[in-house]
Amino acid sequence: MNDKQWKIEKYLPQLSGNILFVGVGKDPEGVKHYSEYHKLIKTPESFETLDMMTEGVISTKASKHHMCDFLEFNNEHQYDHISLHGLWGERFIFRKEDRNLSSGKLTNIIINSINKAHNMLNVGGTLEIGPSTNTVNVIYDYLVEEELYESKYRINRNEEGSGNCIFWGKKLNNNPFNYENHDLWETIKTVGLFQH
């Protein structure tokens, strides 16, 4: 089962309450339309979406759609579930010559996004994250080891047919997310990066 099938078959049908689904984007071929995701959850009337793209965004049947950068989003209330899936993939293409700058910038975006989502989430709610690289696994380890989250589901990229690593955890408390800001790509050379 790939990560998109997992979202459709296992993740979304278990959700109820206030839900923020970040990263709508274009509808990829061969998968259920994003506009149908609201039909898969138990409370479609409280399903909100957010995306920063201005062109090619598909129609979302959400109770509310926010068009902005997630890091600039001013949320009106806390959420029971937040999904940050596929946000840090193909739009971040690093040339070898600016790899150090690009990977440091992406590290900051990932850390700041997870911190923001953590602060917007109700205790007992869930956070789902699915970047397209396993280098983020150290953050997933941190979330569990620091007892901020209880892992509900976790898979690495290329395990069991998954094209994306996935972390889905239940928030245990409001303790701060204090992950050290260091380059997630500092120990690898080109994994997850495109060379030009």
* Helical H segments across 82-188, by residue range: 99-120, 137-145
Residue 43 confidence (pLDDT)? 92
Q: Output the pLDDT for position 97.
A: 54
The pLDDT of residue 109 = 87
Residue 42's pLDDT is what? 93
Cβ atoms within 10 Å of 141's Cβ, excluding its own: 13
pLDDT at 36: 74
Please list the rounded mean pLDDT of every run of 10 residues in the chain (196 residues): 84 95 66 66 90 59 81 93 81 54 80 96 96 82 97 87 86 96 65 42
Structural element, H or E, at residue 48:
strand 47-51
d(CA 70, CA 117): 9
CA distance 99 to 93: 9
* pTM (two decimals): 0.85
Rounded CA separation 15/109 (Å):
26
